A and B are shown apart, each in its own frame.
Chain A
Amino acid sequence: MALNVRKFDAVVVGAGGSGLRAALQLSTAGLKTAVLTKVFPTRSHTVAAQGGVGASLGNMGEDSWHWHMYDTVKGSDWLGDQDAIEFMCRTAPEAVIELEHYGMPFDRNDNGTIYQRPFGGHSMNFGEKPVQRSCCAADRTGHAMLHTLYQRNVFANTQFFVEWMALDLIRDAEGAVVGVTALEMETGETMIFHAKATLFATGGAGRIFASSTNALINTGDGAGMAARAGIPLEDMEFWQFHPTGVAGAGVLITEGVRGEGGILLNKDGERFMERYAPTMKDLASRDVVSRAMATEIKDGRGAGPNNDYILLKLDHLGPDVINKRLPGIRESAIKFANVDPVKEPIPVVPTCHYQMGGIPTNYKGEVIVPKGGNPNSVVPGFYAAGECGCASIHGANRLGTNSLTDLLVMGKSAGDSTIAYVKAHGTHRDLPKDAGDYTLSRLNRLETQKSGESVFEVGNAMRQAMQAHCGVFRFPDMLEKGVAKIKEVAERCKHTEIKDKSKVFNTARIEALEQDNLMEVALATMISAEARKESRGAHDRADFKDREGYPNGRDDKEWLRHTLWYKEGNRLDYKPVNLKPLTVETIPPKARVY
């Protein structure tokens, strides 16, 4: 059975922040563009971002993109590529202003400029003291941003394919990307989208962990598709655990709470962050705060009947500030933690939040792979932006607010690169003869599978393995066992069975296909983590602790390099970190102290 083919100049997969930002470029440039999205655009996970978007506008006092860049490099524990970081921090103010012109309802200062709040790891004058850099719309910045971007796309007449799930990447004999296969959920029909350029903006895969702030749709579809098509995944061992997820529920409580003056307390009512980060205190980088919290809990100083959570106190801010700046988190705390933060502290624990790694790209959003001795050879016709891409801006740990900055800057940049490529290449490359076969064989396997396990069971096994073996603290023996375990789960994943065979909106089928993608990400994560023999940023190993020449267990001689995981044979490769920015001096590695 041959699949129907539709031809477009460009296909964008995903309609979250970066997908919409990229699509806006493409539509405005007049390219015939299809935007495929699993959910209606405003349901994408960008909607859940709360605290703000980082840009050195300097509305609240002096600020500069150089400081933002320094903070981001330091936050990344020097694993971030400094060209990409410079590009993002330098372009951020213009990206935010542009969004304001599109109608984003930012909070305002008395003089009418955009209000900015302090945020973790953002500092003045290269680490001196906290700075107000996070441009926000109360604690609903992501929501306001996603809706604004969608609205602007309505203005630009972007063509959306809503509730279409991309299934596989199509590459030709030369390795160029020529489109994707995709499934229309409502009808169950599969189709080939033949494109001159394909741009992935599929978001993260935080659902590989049992406890996650991520939406249920964050299943790493882009990463999975890329991995199956032979493209490596970069730095997948680095996962951000957000310090403040509601204990038990995993729902996010923004770092903006601490930006506005909220503090973390242990069971003795001690503001313990003063011990771990004397300068930045509760506003230290996320990996540092999460580790401090986990240490407090581990040492028996957690609050609650089981001493298993930390308290986030903000009642001292007063109801006015809470209702004006943090109304959404008050709502979440009441609903999910049964506490009103105006009166009581919120019980929180570090919760999986963000995927620092992803599909390797440069700062232009072009996907790059090692080829013929060049570690950064461009894959023709393939682009990635946002959480699914790894430019690498966030390195080993992302700063709060930089995800929204990343998706704006990289979405636009990848969009522009796509336009340039499409304009330079007039015609479509030919589709390979067997273009849809791989997808059809996967669908057929699922259709005919007998006596397999349910997706739910396999998924649970994966989530538990990841949580137990690859969490905030990582241990060498646990990682080793984790690799064996996750490989075993991956075997089971090949035989998932669904009972529902309907063509119409078959969510069982969707979830099975999503599980396939999650599985690739889980494998990449566990195997990359086991192999990285150091502690860096969010990757904290018990066998590599702070010692002379190895600040916080970091080994710059051996491990100042990016991991590349290939699906085929679970092979690992490495490539150097780009320490050379575009126009300024390198920020050399040093010990990370907050």
Chain B
Amino acid sequence: MKFIIERFDPDKDAKPYFKEYDIQLEPTDKMLLDALIRIKSVDDSLALRRSCREGVCGSDAMNINGKNGLACVTKIADLPDVVKLRPLPGLPIIRDLIVDMTQFFKQYHSITPFVINNDPPPEKERLQSPVDRAELDGLYECILCACCSTSCPSFWWNPDKFVGPAGLLAAYRFIADTRDQATNERLDNLEDPYRLFRCHTIMNCVDVCPKGLNPSLAIGKIKEMMVKRGV
């Protein structure tokens, strides 16, 4: 099977280039990550992040034949004979398939990603009905792989100012939590032409999310809340 992989090592390369690998896979190599590990056993200089190899840690996000996805849950059988791999678009490349995610996490941190509740904590758990808890489904499962944000043109143009789909999904996760008391402050924090409203519902985020989440929907709900609050 043929793999064309974008390579760049700032220690020796002036600019990124593509390297071809023609590799004999074993029957046990089921996922793209298996193939990359196979390649790495031949060429140990290929750099990529990986950890859980089952789609829950979010390490091995990359651009696979033009579409962002996780290597560990991309079946080789579903791929064409030639696979072109590039690092996630829109973020600075550190080396090969490894990008600098500082900007991405900065946006995540900017939405105060923790439950804020200033009441003295009760002795037992804070109660929450199953219906209220169900509001968090489709939000809390995000693995911060950055597939969505790095496929979003609005994030490409304004990574410093637009929170991006992952961050906004997280923002709504806390807004939706009945235990959180900072809804107003959270909305204030997003009331800005860039942070939230750069989302033009392009829906690339929904298209690529390896966990099947829908950031656009969450963003729509935040916008709705802002309008409700405003009018």
Q: Is chain B a partner of chain A in the same complex?
A: yes
Name B109-130 residues within 8 Å CB distance of A.
109, 113-115, 117, 121, 123-130
B105 within 8 A of A: yes
Give the Cβ gap from B108 to chain A, nearest Cβ, in Å: 9
**Binary contact readout B116-148 vs A (1 if CB under 8 angstroms, 0 otherwise):** 010001011111111011001000110110000
- Which among A39, A42, A154, A186 is the interface contact of B143 at CB below 8 angstroms? A42
B114 adjacent to A249 (CB under 8 Å) = no
B45 adjacent to A499 (CB under 8 Å) = yes
**Binary contact readout B71-105 vs A (1 if CB under 8 angstroms, 0 otherwise):** 00101000000000000000000111010010001
Give the Cβ gap from B7 to chain A, nearest Cβ, in Å: 11
Distance in angstroms between the alpha carbons of A143 and B213 in the assembled complex: 15
Distance in angstroms between the alpha carbons of A101 and B126 in the assembled complex: 7
Distance in angstroms between the alpha carbons of A48 and B109 in the assembled complex: 23
Distance in angstroms between the alpha carbons of A161 and B49 in the assembled complex: 17
B161 within 8 A of A: no
Interface hit among A436-444, A463-471, A502-510, A564-572: A502-510
Distance in angstroms between the alpha carbons of A470 and B169 in the assembled complex: 45
B48 within 8 A of A: yes
Interface residues on B, range: 35 or more
Interface hit among A109-117, A222-230, A296-304, A355-363: A109-117
B48 adjacent to A154 (CB under 8 Å) = no
Give the Cβ gap from A244 to chain B, nearest Cβ, in Å: 14
A216 adjacent to B47 (CB under 8 Å) = no
Q: Which residues of A contact B52 (CB under 8 A)?
A: 43, 45, 47-48, 215-216
Given contacts A102-B114, A103-B179, A502-B11, contact A147 B140 (CB under 8 A): yes
B9 adjacent to A504 (CB under 8 Å) = yes
Give the Cβ gap from B25 to chain A, nearest Cβ, in Å: 15
B141 adjacent to A143 (CB under 8 Å) = yes
A105 within 8 A of B: yes
B127 adjacent to A504 (CB under 8 Å) = no
Q: Which residues of B contact A186 (CB under 8 A)?
A: 94
Give the Cβ gap from A341 to chain B, nearest Cβ, in Å: 16
Give the Cβ gap from B175 to chain A, nearest Cβ, in Å: 13
B127 adjacent to A113 (CB under 8 Å) = yes
A151 adjacent to B54 (CB under 8 Å) = no
Closest chain B residue, CB of each to CB of A137: B140
A502 adjacent to B9 (CB under 8 Å) = yes
Distance in angstroms between the alpha carbons of A476 and B51 in the assembled complex: 35
**Binary contact readout B29-56 vs A (1 if CB under 8 angstroms, 0 otherwise):** 0100000000011011111111111111
Q: Which residues of B contact A42 (CB under 8 A)?
A: 57-58, 143-144
A112 adjacent to B105 (CB under 8 Å) = no
Give the Cβ gap from B126 to chain A, nearest Cβ, in Å: 6
Name A154-194 residues within 8 Å CB distance of B.
154-155, 186
A40 adjacent to B121 (CB under 8 Å) = no
Q: Which residues of B contact A154 (CB under 8 A)?
A: 109, 113-114
Distance in angstroms between the alpha carbons of A504 and B100 in the assembled complex: 12
Distance in angstroms between the alpha carbons of A366 and B132 in the assembled complex: 41
- Which among A101, A215, A251, A252 is the interface contact of B51 at CB below 8 angstroms? A215
Q: Which residues of B contact A335 (CB under 8 A)?
A: 55, 73, 75
Closest chain B residue, CB of each to CB of A97: B125
**Binary contact readout A105-132 vs B (1 if CB under 8 angstroms, 0 otherwise):** 1111111111000000000000000000
B66 within 8 A of A: no
**Binary contact readout A91-108 vs B (1 if CB under 8 angstroms, 0 otherwise):** 000000100111101111
**Binary contact readout A177-218 vs B (1 if CB under 8 angstroms, 0 otherwise):** 000000000100000000000000000000000000001110
B94 adjacent to A504 (CB under 8 Å) = yes
B50 adjacent to A151 (CB under 8 Å) = no
Distance in angstroms between the alpha carbons of A147 and B57 in the assembled complex: 11
Distance in angstroms between the alpha carbons of A588 and B162 in the assembled complex: 62
Distance in angstroms between the alpha carbons of A535 and B89 in the assembled complex: 54
Q: Which residues of A contact B117 (CB under 8 A)?
A: 101
B127 adjacent to A105 (CB under 8 Å) = no
**Binary contact readout A503-525 vs B (1 if CB under 8 angstroms, 0 otherwise):** 11111100100000000000000
Distance in angstroms between the alpha carbons of A251 and B28 in the assembled complex: 14
A559 within 8 A of B: no
A472 within 8 A of B: no
Q: Which residues of A contact B16 (CB under 8 A)?
A: none
Distance in angstroms between the alpha carbons of A44 and B125 in the assembled complex: 26
B10 adjacent to A504 (CB under 8 Å) = yes
Given contacts A48-B57, A97-B124, contact A105 B133 (CB under 8 A): yes
Name A72-107 residues within 8 Å CB distance of B.
97, 100-103, 105-107
A140 within 8 A of B: yes
Q: Which of A102, A155, A216, A499 has the most CB of B within 10 A?
A: A216
Distance in angstroms between the alpha carbons of A579 and B141 in the assembled complex: 41
B59 within 8 A of A: yes
B57 adjacent to A215 (CB under 8 Å) = yes
A110 adjacent to B129 (CB under 8 Å) = yes
B229 within 8 A of A: no
A533 within 8 A of B: no
B207 within 8 A of A: no
Q: Which residues of A contact B28 (CB under 8 A)?
A: 248
B51 adjacent to A39 (CB under 8 Å) = yes
A475 within 8 A of B: no
Q: Which residues of A contact B53 (CB under 8 A)?
A: 215-216, 251
Give the Cβ gap from A403 to chain B, nearest Cβ, in Å: 15
B6 within 8 A of A: no
A505 adjacent to B114 (CB under 8 Å) = no
Name B159-188 residues within 8 Å CB distance of A.
174, 177, 179-180
Give the Cβ gap from B38 to chain A, nearest Cβ, in Å: 10
Distance in angstroms between the alpha carbons of A504 and B47 in the assembled complex: 10
**Binary contact readout A225-264 vs B (1 if CB under 8 angstroms, 0 otherwise):** 0000000000000000000000011011000000000000
B228 within 8 A of A: no
Q: Which of B10, B57, B123 has the most CB of A within 10 A?
A: B57
Distance in angstroms between the alpha carbons of A335 and B54 in the assembled complex: 9
Pairs across A and B, CB under 8 Å, 8 listed:
A39-B49, A42-B57, A101-B117, A102-B115, A108-B133, A112-B128, A113-B127, A499-B43
* Chain A residues near B (Cβ < 8 Å): 39-40, 42-45, 47-48, 97, 100-103, 105-114, 137, 140, 143-144, 147, 151-152, 154-155, 186, 215-217, 248-249, 251-252, 328, 331-332, 335-336, 454-456, 498-500, 502-508, 511
* Known contacts A97-B123, A144-B140, A508-B44; 9 further A-B pairs (Cβ under 8 A): A47-B57, A48-B54, A48-B57, A103-B115, A107-B130, A454-B44, A499-B44, A504-B10, A507-B44
